[in-house]
Amino acid sequence: MGCGGSKDKDGNPNEIKYQMQTVGVAAADDFFKNVGDALEAAEKIRKGVEDDKEEALELSHAYRLKDKGQRMKSAFQVLFWAISAGNGGDVKKTKLDIVAELPFLKFERDGNLHNDTNRLGESSNGFLEACTNGPAELEKIITNLTAAAEKAPKLKDDCDFSGLGAMEKPKAFKNIAVNSQTLTKNLPKVKELLPKVQEAAKDMKEIGPNLKNLVDTADETGKKAHESKKTTPSEIFDEFIKDGLLTDDEVKAERDAKDPKKKNEKKK
C-alpha cells in the first residue's frame, strides 16, 4: 500500500494524492486501501478532464483559438485530419468507433500514424472517458470519502492494536495520522473537481454528436495535408486554420495567467 501514489513531476497543485502508508492492522489497512482507491479513481478523472484535455489542446495547437468553447471541437477535427493525412487521405483506414452517445469515440493506436497523432488520440480518449463516467462516479467518491473523513479520527479507538509490539504501535499511530491527513487534504480537491467534470461532460454532449460528421468530412483536408507533407496535428492546424487565432503575446499572457509561479511573481 505504501508504494502506490501519483507522481508530481510538475508540481501540479490540482493533483490528487492517494499514497497510503501501511498501518500493520488489517482493519485500518483495509479502511485506508478503500480511501486510497477512491482518491486514485478521482485522480484518474481529474487527469482526463484537465491533463488529457491540456495535452490534446497542446498537440493539436487548438489552444491558439480565441474561442475557448471551440478548442476541444477543433482538437478532434485536427485529430481526424491528421489520421487521414497519415493514411494517404483516408481517415477510415484507422480503427475509429463512433457511437451516438458518450463516449462517442474510441481510438486505437495506429503504427502508421505519427506519434503525436497517436498521443492526441489517446489524450482525447482519456478526456472522453472522464466525461463519460466522471460525474456519477465522482459523486459516489465524494460521498464515500466524506464518510471516511468522519470515521478516520476514531480508528485508534475502533481498531485492535494488541497484535503489535511496543515499537510498532507508535509507527502505526503515526501512519494513521499521515493517511488521515492525506484524506482530509485531498478531499476538498475532489469536491472542487466535480463542477469541472460536470461542465466538461456538458460541453462534450454538444461536441459528441458532431464527431461522426468531422470524421466523414476529414479526408478533404487530410488529402491536402498528405500532399503537402504535413503529418503532425500541430503542422496541420497551423497550415489549415488561419482565422480566429490568438497572437503569440495573447497565448503567452493566457499561459502566464494559469502559471502559479507567474501569479506569485505578480503579487510580489
How sure is the predictor about 63, in pLDDT bands with cuts at 50, 70 and 90? Answer: very high
Query: Of all residues in the chain, what percent carry a pLDDT higher than 90?
Result: 78
- 151 CB burial (10 A radius; 0-12, 13-18, 19+): middle
Amino acid 69 reads G
How sure is the predictor about 259, in pLDDT bands with cuts at 50, 70 and 90? Answer: confident
**Residue 146 phi, psi (nearest 5):** -65, -45
Q: Which whole number is the average pLDDT over 61-87?
A: 96
- 81 CB burial (10 A radius; 0-12, 13-18, 19+): buried
Where along the chain do its domains lie?
A: 26-267
- 230 CB burial (10 A radius; 0-12, 13-18, 19+): buried
Using one digit for the tens of pLDDT, what is the confidence trace for 184-238? 999 999 999 999 999 999 988 888 888 999 999 999 999 999 999 999 999 999 9
User: How far is the C-alpha of 48 from the C-alpha of 131, rounded, in Å?
Assistant: 8
DSSP state for residue 96 in the 8-state scheme: E
Higher pLDDT, 107 or 42: 42
Q: Indicate the SS3 state at residue 80.
A: helix
pLDDT, residue 8, reads 45
Kindly give, in sequence order, each residue whose CB lies less than 8 Å from that of residue 18, ignoring residues fewer than 6 positions away: 4, 5, 6, 36, 37, 39, 40, 42, 43, 182, 186
User: How far is the C-alpha of 117 from the C-alpha of 80, rounded, in Å?
Assistant: 9
Decide: pTM greater than 0.75: yes
How sure is the predictor about 3, in pLDDT bands with cuts at 50, 70 and 90? Answer: very low
C-alpha cell at 72: 476541444
First to last CA, the chain: 41
> pLDDT at residue 7 above 80?
no
> pLDDT at residue 43 above 90?
yes
User: How far is the C-alpha of 85 from the C-alpha of 55, rounded, in Å?
Assistant: 20
Using one digit for the tens of pLDDT, what is the confidence trace for 133-186? 899 999 999 999 999 999 999 998 999 999 999 999 999 999 999 999 999 999
> pLDDT at residue 6 above 90?
no
pLDDT, residue 206, reads 85
pLDDT, residue 264, reads 56
Q: What is the residue-averaged pLDDT of the chain?
A: 91
How sure is the predictor about 5, in pLDDT bands with cuts at 50, 70 and 90? Answer: very low
